[in-house]
């Protein structure tokens, strides 16, 4: 296991289309996070899973966004009816079960461009 894997690396889509991203965390990491980052800004929290349970979702996230982690392993993030404002880097991160003193390991990210 070489780290957090995200797929695809880049996605260009037309406005109004649905897109789905996948994240495979480090195998022993039970906590998984999705963030969104736009140019010149820090990563913005979207949602958090502990095992298969989605424990927190940002209030900034519209109903067009949904995330799943059905078996507590990989996770998917879907954006329905994409808008140009959804263009951003979508980052997945994971960390182990013990405590909050360990930092995240990020994947390489998925860069979404909505045209």
Partner 1 sequence: QKEVEQNSGPLSVPEGAIASLNCTYSDRGSQSFFWYRQYSGKSPELIMSIYSNGDKEDGRFTAQLNKASQYVSLLIRDSQPSDSATYLCAVNMKTSYDKVIFGPGTSLSVIP
- The residue ranges that bind partner 1 (CB under 8 A) are 31, 33, 35, 40-45, 48, 50, 55-56, 89, 91, 100-109
CA atoms within 13 A on the CB side of 39: 4
CB of 100 to partner 1, least distance (A): 5
CB of 33 to partner 1, least distance (A): 6
Q: Are 75 and 91 in contact (CB under 8 A)?
A: no
User: Tokens representing 15?
Assistant: 């406005």
CB of 115 to partner 1, least distance (A): 19
Of residues 44 and 52, the one with the C-beta less far from partner 1: 44
| Separation CA 5–CA 26 (nearest Å) | 8
Of residues 70 and 103, the one with the C-beta less far from partner 1: 103
User: Tokens representing 99?
Assistant: 């405590």
Of residues 5 and 73, the one with the C-beta less far from partner 1: 5
Q: Kindly report the length of the chain.
A: 115
Question: How would you classify the pairing of strands 10-13 and 110-114?
Answer: parallel
Of residues 14 and 103, the one with the C-beta less far from partner 1: 103
């Amino acid at each position: 296991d070489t780290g957090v894997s995200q797929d695809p690396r880049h996605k260009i889509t037309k406005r109004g289309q649905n897109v789905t991203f996948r994240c495979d965390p480090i195998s022993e990491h039970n906590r998984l996070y999705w963030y969104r980052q736009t140019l010149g800004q820090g990563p913005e929290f979207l949602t958090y899973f502990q095992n298969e349970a989605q424990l927190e979702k940002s209030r900034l996230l519209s109903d067009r966004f949904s995330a799943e982690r059905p078996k507590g392993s990989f996770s998917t993030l879907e954006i329905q009816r994409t808008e140009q404002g959804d263009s951003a880097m979508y980052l997945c991160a994971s960390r182990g079960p013990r405590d909050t003193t360990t930092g995240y390991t990020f994947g390489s990210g998925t860069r979404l461009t909505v045209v």
